[in-house]
Amino acid sequence: MSVDRMRAELDASNLAISTLAEIELNLKPMVTSPPAKFEPPLERWTWEVEVTEPSEDLDMGGGLTLVEVIVRNEEKEKETRFARMIRASMPATSRPD
């Protein structure tokens, strides 16, 4: 495996993990979104989010939602996906005491 390929894999993983963390911290909304570019110097990379809401057919239990972050670099032909079950946060005004 070449150094460039390893670097691309590491970059993709780091971008996906940090994007998922931003969603968990409510810095990015937990909604399905189309591809968007990262800010420079990472503008060759795009990110998108796919959210699968809990349903009666697919019992994920405990109010958890499946959130998947997809990071791509078309130039390097690289795609990385990270998914995690996340509990949708409640607005501060509706939290029980």
How far is 10 from 58, CA to CA, in rounded Å? 33
**Domains contained in the chain, number:** 1
95 domain residue, yes or no:
no
66 domain residue, yes or no:
yes
Helix (H, G, I), strand (E, B) or coil at 89: coil
Percent of the chain with pLDDT over 70: 82
**pTM check: above 0.85:** no
50 domain residue, yes or no:
yes
- Identify the pLDDT of residue 59: 55
Structural domain for 82, as ranges:
3-89
10 domain residue, yes or no:
yes
94 domain residue, yes or no:
no
- In degrees and rounded to multiples of 5, residue 11 shows phi and psi of -60, -45
97 domain residue, yes or no:
no
pLDDT beneath 70, residues of the chain: 1, 55-61, 89-97
Q: Shortest CA distance to 50 belongs to which of 83, 88, 25?
A: 83
